[in-house]
Structure 1
Amino acid sequence: MRHTPGTFSIAARDPATDTYGAAVTTGTVAVGATCPYVSSNGAALTQAFTKTEHGRDAIERADAGDRIDDAFEALLAADEHADFRQVHGVGSDSEFAFTGEHCSEWAGHRIGEQYTVAGNILAGPETIDAVEAAYLDEDGDMATRLVSALEGGVAAGGDDRGEMSAAILVHAPEPEFYHNLRVDLSETPVADLRTLLEAAREAKARVKAETDKLFEHYPEELLDFGVKY
């Protein structure tokens, strides 16, 4: 039985496309509702004993021009329960990760160039090592790389109790509706997230083909749905 929230996740930036993304999976439901945050200036995650304001406020500060590391450090300094938190993220000019000393074992993080990885209540450090390696080895777009990163973590042992939900959230100059995907309850949420991503890509092409059949001429921007954040 799984009772205690545990998580592994990745935040990343692709400077070549000015794209930010966050991906996360955990041993409780609806992780996408509380943990990942993105904007045109950063990607952030809050987990362990999650404080949603830390993710939201870090992104708001990045949008206001703060470095993501300065933003998180200020938020943690004002949090009397910081030792129970795990937060991480990337901005345009910095990366940051923090694992409080009271996060449940195994817990830890990695900071790389343009990405951060963190997790708690994991099978061991090999999980976040595998998340990092899978992200770096994948050469697809941000959504593909994020799902591949989660798949790497699952293959390495993942959450010590198994996963129940997963999510990806991407901010890109050209938004797609598959940039905001969630699996809120499943025995295999990361595998389901991969299936959902592939189905969403196919759906975009299908909507275009069906619209072409309905209208001989129509404004192409009608199919630019954008993304809800």
Structure 2
Amino acid sequence: MRRESLRHVPGTFSIAARDPDANVFGAAVTTGTVSVGATCPYVSEAAAVVTQAFTKTDHGRAGVERAAAGERVDDALSAVLDDDEHAAYRQVHGVGFDSEFAFTGEECTEWCGHRIGDDHTVAGNILTGPDVLDATAEAYESTDGDMADRLVSALEAGEAAGGDERGELSAALLIHAPEPEFYHNLRVDLSERPVDDLRTLLEEARRAQEQLVAETEGAETDYPPSVFDFGVKY
């Protein structure tokens, strides 16, 4: 591990997205400090929001909660930033049912910026350059598969394009779907290759879920199908 070179300063790149056909919201993020999943991504049945740079968890919680209560996500996030005296140091972005929103404060560290697409937003700071966000968005748009595959593919593309200029140390995936799965809440809190590890974790979580069902179906006990509806912790 690069323990001698760790620098715990604000910075990340991330994507928030909505799959309107599946009614799924998700976010994925990676950064050059530890435990990014503990503070940056938020989802609900009505929105996906990421708060980063000088992160403020209240902004993420407020964004998804206000969207779930019926507010447009752009109005909700604009309002929370208007009430924040330190908004110039924040990056906040997200998607809802009927709007997208992205904000990069003027005091965020270069290179910083954001992109807004149809049903997705990307943002980052302390990056090697704008190609990181372009690659992240393009990979999400062009990748087949479910939300989890598309989001992890987006991070992989952003990393390949340069990523965080310090190198990444943590990554996370968070998804809200009508049918929650094991792999809808995944975190790599400290790693030399967190995006690679997130891909491995996703694949292993899918396999573990399938194995659990297969093993219990072969057991003597007749389990009711609903016993496997574990839900997801948000």
When normalised by structure 2's length, the TM-score is: 0.96
What is the aligned length? 229
Cα distance, 1:217 vs structure 2: 2.4
Tell me the residue number matched to 1:214.
219
Q: How does 1:87-102 map to 2 (within 5 A)?
A: 87-102=92-107
Inter-partner Cα distance in structure 2 for 1:183 and 1:92: 29
Task: Tell me, yes or no, if structure 1 residue 28 matches structure 2 residue 33.
Answer: yes
**Could you list the per-position Cα deviations for residues 58-89 of structure 1 after superposition, in whole angstroms to 9, with x for gaps in the alignment?**
11110111100000110010000000000000
Tell me the residue number matched to 1:132.
137
Cα distance, 1:6 vs structure 2: 1.2
Inter-partner Cα distance in structure 1 for 2:74 and 2:51: 14
Cα distance, 1:199 vs structure 2: 0.2
Cα distance, 1:209 vs structure 2: 1.3
**Could you list the per-position Cα deviations for residues 160-183 of structure 1 after superposition, in whole angstroms to 9, with x for gaps in the alignment?**
100000000000011101000000
Inter-partner Cα distance in structure 2 for 1:50 and 1:116: 17
Tell me the residue number matched to 2:90.
85
Cα distance, 1:215 vs structure 2: 2.9
Cα distance, 1:35 vs structure 2: 0.2
Amino acid at match of 2:34: V
Tell me the residue number matched to 1:54.
59
Inter-partner Cα distance in structure 1 for 2:153 and 2:12: 16
Inter-partner Cα distance in structure 1 for 2:88 and 2:80: 12
Inter-partner Cα distance in structure 1 for 2:223 and 2:6: 51
Equivalent position SS for 2:43: strand
Structure 2: gaps of 5 or more residues = none
Tell me the residue number matched to 1:43.
48
The match for 2:188 among 180, 183, 192 is: 183
Tell me the residue number matched to 2:113.
108
Cα distance, 1:216 vs structure 2: 5.2
Tell me the residue number matched to 2:12.
7
Structure 1: gaps of 5 or more residues = none
Cα distance, 1:213 vs structure 2: 2.2
Q: How does 1:66-81 map to 2 (within 5 A)?
A: 66-81=71-86
Equivalent position SS for 1:86: strand
When normalised by structure 1's length, the TM-score is: 0.99
Cα distance, 1:5 vs structure 2: 2.5
Inter-partner Cα distance in structure 2 for 1:135 and 1:23: 11
**Could you list the per-position Cα deviations for residues 70-111 of structure 1 after superposition, in whole angstroms to 9, with x for gaps in the alignment?**
001100100000000000000000000000000000000000
Tell me the residue number matched to 1:173.
178
Inter-partner Cα distance in structure 2 for 1:2 and 1:129: 27
Inter-partner Cα distance in structure 1 for 2:107 and 2:100: 22
Amino acid at match of 1:117: V
Cα distance, 1:2 vs structure 2: 3.6
